[in-house]
Amino acid sequence: MAVPTSILGPPPPPQTGPGSMVAWSSMSSGPSRYVLGMQELFRGHSKTREFPAHSAKVHSVAWSCDGRRLASGSFDKTASVFLLEKDRLVKENNYRGHGDSVDQLCWHPSNPDLFVTASGDKTIRIWDVRTTKCIATVNTKGENINICWSPDGQTIAVGNKDDVVTFIDAKTHRSKAEEQFKFEVNEISWNNDNNMFFLTNGNGCINILSYPELKPVQSINAHPSNCICIKFDPMGKYFATGSADALVSLWDVDELVCVRCFSRLDWPVRTLSFSHDGKMLASASEDHFIDIAEVETGDKLWEVQCESPTFTVAWHPKRPLLAFACDDKDGKYDSSREAGTVKLFGLPNDS
């Protein structure tokens, strides 16, 4: 698929520092040392296991900051939390209270006990895994579809189907600000420095606002079609966007230029996740595989096979384990039995 050169920007300058020239030169001389090392690891850890989580499809998975727990949100109106034990997920609790689908959830950036869920029931709920209780229910104006927690832990942003983003104080649970946008808002995120707020939109743009002022800083024409998802790498060097044109674009955070595109998927890119070291990027769509790319080169590192479209992917914050969830009813003989599982890739083949 041709990409207008205007959105690609100039090629990145060669990186300097230990190990980086290896990655840069790999464009001509075969895979980098990192790719070879990870491929070797995954050859012995290519197992995917399924864990029953919900009675309907899973929309969202996310790891706590310490990597001890995985949360999932589902069309069945609940959230589930698992503990990660050696090579498996053990269900700890199911969180009930929402009156509609839980479309997205996320954890507090530095407190591993708190997570927040966004639901179509016009509320968000903050949960505490220590008490297994909902510690706050915040009423919002519309059906909520996306949510994120600011890196400093102070604010939760939630977007609804009417393209309103509400900023909620995480301590008082009161709304601090509200913005109505004139475009279709898809995914939202702060940058790692907490001083800018990013939105992907239906026109293929990335809109950037200053934070907390919420004044427009820049609008980037990122894709010729709907820009669906956005993720920042943990190192603060890049962010990635996925779009309906099936492309993943990698952007330099400081320069706001596109440094490379990944084009191995054929369907709209629904979900993205950077590994904990910022060196791998997982992307997924309706294709029946999850692409794992080396960030520095765009080279294919691995692909995770799945039998149906993938809704959500999340790398573990410390280990090369990828949690994901698919539309498990697709093409299955017994659709009821298979719905609502959470999957984990990267387990030892002999586990």
Strand partners, 314: 323
Per-residue pLDDT of the chain (351 residues; tens, 9 = 90+): 443 333 333 334 434 333 333 334 344 578 999 999 999 999 999 999 999 999 999 999 999 999 999 999 999 999 999 999 999 999 999 999 999 999 999 999 999 999 999 999 999 999 999 999 999 999 999 999 999 999 999 999 999 999 999 999 999 999 999 999 999 999 999 999 999 999 999 999 999 999 999 999 999 999 889 999 999 999 999 999 999 999 999 999 999 999 999 999 999 999 999 999 999 999 999 999 999 999 999 999 999 999 999 999 999 999 999 999 999 764 445 555 547 999 999 999 998
pLDDT of residue 328: 78
pLDDT of residue 313: 98
CA distances from 140 to 63, 160, 165, 313, 348 (A): 25, 9, 10, 27, 44
Nearest of 134, 57, 141, 63 to residue 103 by alpha carbon: 57
Scan for tokens 């914050």, then name that residue. Answer: 317
- Token duo for residue 55: 């009675």
pLDDT of residue 333: 53
Kindly report the backbone phi and psi dihedral angles of residue 103, in degrees, each rounded to the nearest multiple of 5, phi listed first. Answer: -85, -30
